[in-house]
């Protein structure tokens, strides 16, 4: 019989106490690790989703709102920029790619995005393959053809050839105001990216405009649509358009990839210095968002550490409360011929096993908890939180294990010093 088996038997003799202690260690470690895993996962997931979009140019207003509009397909869209503004940027030789991005209607809460086929060619770096890939079908080339994100296809059961009718507004309503006269036909389904773009429905700018001609009419009557004055001569291209037409024929944002980093910074500064539009670097805005989220994350992390501290104290308490019983067992073992070092090793093994059990369950629990929360995030905002195996989780578990073993040192030394004869007297 090995010392390990003896330690395990010793623990099993105090089964309830052992399990409660291991459970406390498990909960402490699970919460701490899950927070760590999710916070780094969330950053990675969001940063990855924002990479292909480049510099965002939209009308003056909230930078966060512009990021939410384009990357997360969330929030009310900012006021439109004129299409002429887009055309001017697209014609700029300093700019490699400019893609219009127009948020308009929705279908069952999924946002319709008016854009051009160039949108599907966007990539994080020029050398990278396109971020978006077709899983089935083709890109749109006619009005009222749609390419849908993987989540839309999966959740709403849309297949190639299916038709659907969009609704006004940003969210599904109980009494939809449908564009019944303009049904869309699904011609392509994108591969899943585990990003908010999985929830988008992508249509041509023509489709967007045509459906919005109807919307603009309503806006003219109801005064809902917003127009941004084209201060830099936007009137040239569409001088004959009324403000309502501009609203309908504008874009929410322009996704811009200048030829060089210098060009990017120049455009960024010039745009923000002007009065018409704002330029937003998603990475910067997201960094600010992460900083804001960071305080909440810190609080959660703090709670995790407190739980871990409590777990450590519980291990100590458990080991001390079993000291009396253990003294008798140690005395018996010594009378059987066990050396002082052997009984010390058994007690240390007991604390290592008890903490180790808690740590193993804690790591599993952390991944389980993180996976459950990541699943929730994926299904609700389509943000993939990468939860690959992280060695730092093992590092933290090892730290907790080491702390458990250290807390077992005092009782182990107690066992080493146990006066055998004294504890062998009949009880």
Partner 1 sequence: MTLLRLENVVKRYRAPDGTELTVLEVPWWELDRGERVALVGPSGSGKSTLLHLLCGIVRPSSGSITLLGERLETMKESALDRLRASQVGYVHQSFQLLPGFTALENVLAAAAFGSSLSKRRQRERAAELLERAGLGDRLDHLPRQLSQGQQQRVAIARALVNEPALLLADEPTASLDPETAARVMELLIGSAAASGAALLLCTHDPEMAARMERSVSIKELAARPAAVRLA
Residue 419 burial (C-beta neighbours within 10 Å; 0-12, 13-18, 19+): exposed
Contacts of 27 (CB under 8 A, 6+ apart): 307, 311, 362, 365
Is residue 150 within 8 A of residue 190, CB to CB? The reply is yes
Query: What Å distances lie between residue 291 and 75, 285, 304, 384, CA to CA?
Result: 20, 10, 19, 20
Q: Which is nearer to partner 1, 204 or 329 (CB)?
A: 329
Six-digit token string for 320: 């001390």
Q: Among the candidate windows 90-98, 285-293, 375-383, 417-425, which touches partner 1 by CB under 8 A?
A: 417-425
For the segment 5-24, give every residue that binds partner 1 (CB under 8 A).
5-6, 9-14
Q: Among the candidate windows 32-40, 58-66, 279-287, 419-427, which touches partner 1 by CB under 8 A?
A: 419-427
- The position carrying tokens 């944002």 is 253
Distance of alpha carbon 192 from alpha carbon 195, whole angstroms: 8
List b or e across 141-175, with b for residues whose CB sees 16 or more CB atoms inside 10 angstroms. eebbbbbbbbbbbebbebeeebebebbbebeeeee
Residue 1 beta carbon to partner 1: minimum distance, rounded to whole angstroms: 4
Binders of partner 1: how many residues, by CB under 8 A? 31
Q: Which is nearer to partner 1, 3 or 293 (CB)?
A: 3
Residue 352 beta carbon to partner 1: minimum distance, rounded to whole angstroms: 17
Distance of alpha carbon 228 from alpha carbon 253, whole angstroms: 12
Among 2, 141, 240, 380, binds partner 1 (CB under 8 A): 2
Residue 61 burial (C-beta neighbours within 10 Å; 0-12, 13-18, 19+): middle
Distance from the Cα of residue 190 to its chain's centroid: 20
List b or e across 269-285, with b for residues whose CB sees 16 or more CB atoms inside 10 angstroms. eebeeeebbbbbbbeeb
Q: Does 295 bind partner 1 (CB under 8 A)?
A: no
Residue 41 beta carbon to partner 1: minimum distance, rounded to whole angstroms: 42
Q: Does 426 bind partner 1 (CB under 8 A)?
A: yes
Q: Which is nearer to partner 1, 304 or 356 (CB)?
A: 356
Residue 341 beta carbon to partner 1: minimum distance, rounded to whole angstroms: 8
Residue 15 beta carbon to partner 1: minimum distance, rounded to whole angstroms: 8
Q: Does 420 bind partner 1 (CB under 8 A)?
A: yes
Residue 426 beta carbon to partner 1: minimum distance, rounded to whole angstroms: 4
For the segment 311-350, give every residue that binds partner 1 (CB under 8 A).
325, 328-329, 331-340, 342
Among 157, 161, 388, 427, binds partner 1 (CB under 8 A): 427
Q: Which is nearer to partner 1, 65 or 342 (CB)?
A: 342
Q: Which is nearer to partner 1, 52 or 411 (CB)?
A: 411
Q: Which is nearer to partner 1, 9 or 135 (CB)?
A: 9
Q: Does 1 bind partner 1 (CB under 8 A)?
A: yes
Contacts of 105 (CB under 8 A, 6+ apart): 112, 166, 167, 168, 169, 179, 211, 215
Q: Among the candidate windows 42-50, 77-85, 290-298, 418-426, which touches partner 1 by CB under 8 A?
A: 418-426
Residue 9 beta carbon to partner 1: minimum distance, rounded to whole angstroms: 4
**What are the backbone angles phi and psi of residue 424, rounded to the nearest 5°?**
-100, -5
Q: Does 417 bind partner 1 (CB under 8 A)?
A: no
Residue numbers at the binding site for partner 1 (CB under 8 A): 1-3, 5-6, 9-14, 325, 328-329, 331-340, 342, 420-421, 424-427
């Amino acid at each position: 019989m090995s010392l390990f088996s003896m330690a395990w038997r010793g623990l099993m003799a105090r089964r309830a106490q052992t399990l409660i202690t291991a459970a406390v260690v498990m909960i402490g470690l699970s919460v701490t690790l899950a927070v760590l895993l999710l916070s780094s996962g969330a950053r990675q997931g969001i940063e990855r989703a924002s990479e292909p979009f480049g510099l965002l140019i939209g009308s003056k207003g909230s930078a966060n709102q512009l990021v939410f509009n384009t990357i997360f397909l969330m929030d009310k869209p900012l006021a439109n920029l004129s299409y002429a503004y887009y055309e001017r940027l697209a014609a700029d030789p300093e700019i490699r790619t400019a893609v219009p991005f127009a948020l308009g209607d929705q279908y069952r809460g999924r946002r319709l995005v008016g854009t051009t086929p160039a949108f599907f060619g966007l990539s994080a770096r020029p050398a990278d393959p396109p971020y978006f890939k077709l899983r089935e079908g083709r890109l749109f080339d006619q009005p009222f053809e749609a390419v849908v994100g993987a989540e839309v296809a999966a959740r709403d059961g849309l297949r190639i050839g299916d038709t659907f009718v969009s609704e006004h507004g940003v969210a599904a309503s109980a009494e939809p105001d449908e564009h019944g006269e303009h049904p869309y036909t699904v011609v392509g389904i994108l591969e899943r990216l585990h990003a908010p773009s999985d929830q988008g429905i992508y249509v041509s700018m023509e489709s967007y405009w045509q459906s919005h001609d109807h919307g603009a009419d309503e806006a003219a009557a109801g005064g809902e649509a917003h127009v941004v004055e084209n201060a830099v001569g936007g009137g040239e291209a569409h001088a004959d358009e009324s403000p309502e037409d501009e609203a309908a024929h504008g874009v929410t944002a322009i996704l811009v990839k200048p030829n060089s980093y210098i060009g990017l910074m120049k455009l960024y500064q010039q745009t923000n210095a002007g009065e018409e539009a704002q330029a937003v670097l998603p990475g910067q805005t997201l960094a600010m968002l992460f900083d804001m989220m960071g305080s909440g994350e810190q609080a959660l992390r703090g709670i995790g550490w407190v739980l871990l501290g409590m777990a450590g104290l519980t291990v100590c308490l458990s080991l001390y409360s079993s000291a009396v019983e253990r003294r008798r067992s140690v005395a018996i073992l010594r009378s059987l011929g066990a050396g002082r070092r052997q009984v010390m090793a058994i007690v240390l093994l007991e604390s290592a096993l008890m903490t180790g059990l808690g740590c193993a369950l804690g790591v599993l629990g952390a991944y389980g908890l993180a996976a459950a929360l990541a699943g929730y995030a994926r299904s609700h905002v389509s943000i993939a939180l990468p939860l690959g195996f992280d060695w730092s989780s093992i590092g933290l578990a090892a730290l907790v294990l080491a702390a458990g073993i250290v807390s077992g040192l005092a009782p182990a030394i107690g066992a080493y010093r146990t006066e055998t004869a004294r504890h062998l007297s009949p009880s």
